[in-house]
Structure 1
Amino acid sequence: MSAPRQRRNGLLLPLALTAGAAAASFALYYFLSDNSSSTQSTGTPAAHESESELGPRRRSPPPTTKKSIVVVVREGSSASELLSSLPSPLPHDRANIFTLIYSPSMTTHPLSDSSGGEELQGKVYRQARKLYPREAPRELVLPYTDSASLVPMLKQLAAEGVYIEGDLVGEKGAVVKAVMEWVGGVVVAVRDPATGQRIADQVGRVKGVKVLDVGRVGEDWVRRV
């Protein structure tokens, strides 16, 4: 392996514990790099161009950089209520939407070469994949095994908005507090009023944080995304 490839891989290895998860993060790096390059290479109209010269471009405006939205859920024996509240298919053409799935018992990453197929992919993983259009890259859905890797992953993805299940916000809302330095907004989805009140007491005063009943997340999603 060449030295540049080793350096790129080294940036991503802290994001995952298993070899399979590292491979998925490596693939994600290339997806982000390619997406960024294709966006930056698109030119914008020169200041001196007339309205007539801009005619064709007016009908098809030059693309702007997509914002990154990250949804954080937990793998389990039943479907995720947070994912169920989102519209399908996700608007992959308007935003880079990633789904991170906390899967502490995962031993083989679904994107690794050693994966045995769908039987190794959890229920929530399969649910998340079905939300994306068929042409969307598989790397947009990333399981992770270590809760401590969540904040670095959100930073690596340059998340501008985060939707996260209430039981994944960390001790005293530590995850939310850590990412609010550079994330535009965080929506915490809760299933019961008691949990919502507890989290609101912890992070409710932080600007840009909303604690919502999971049934109302879809309304917020439509406004933001």
Structure 2
Amino acid sequence: MQEFNIDYIRHEWEYIKRRIRTVHNGSKIAALLNGCTLLDLDESYTPPLLVIRASAIYQYRNLLPYVEEDVVSWAIEMTMGIPCQVQLLPPLQGILRVSPPRDAGRHGQTPVVTMPPVITEAQTTHVTIETFPMRRQHWSDPLKLEYIQADWPQISKMIYKKDNGGEIAQALADSQPVALHTDSYPPTLVLRALNERARSALAHHAADGSLTVALLNELGHVCRLRILPPPAAPPSP
């Protein structure tokens, strides 16, 4: 089996970005990743921590929310079959450069220190990124149905906040986790929709991968998804 290290990730990087292109905003995320440098894989973490650096501040600001939502982690695990955390570093800032004037040797002038351009408060763009509580279930913990069921209301609320009350969050609120099959990788989480509208929305977002990504940050694991229809109405007397 191939050793999981930084060289292996670099070798698979294009395939990882192809996987990312299959999710919502995937083309944008993959394009932002094109300008990132893969620096290191810190294996002292569980799971290992991949450190990447953005090459520009706009790239860092636009990519960071997707890294925090574990989109890149999801793509690595789905492509390589190994869980991996990702840390995005901002670009290196300007470095002071010291250069002598052309006639310094003749007149004994001191070197000129070239400073990076000063950016005023009015020129900066403030980006506020909301943070959320840590996952209730750690990456290294095996998935358990009873934990998912106990945390399901909170999971739905967290996704509701991130999804701005969108269709995925509404559908999850109208569903229940009823089974977890762990006999193959990745495990399969079975959701029972409580109404037809939720079933349709869950099936759609499970097919395009966006539901998997939404649940990944809350469960800490990649899961296949199976959507069951609403329970049949009891026969009328």
Greater RCO (CA < 8 Å, at least 6 residues apart) = 1
TM-score by length of 2: 0.24
Tell which structure's C-alpha radius of gyration is larger.
2
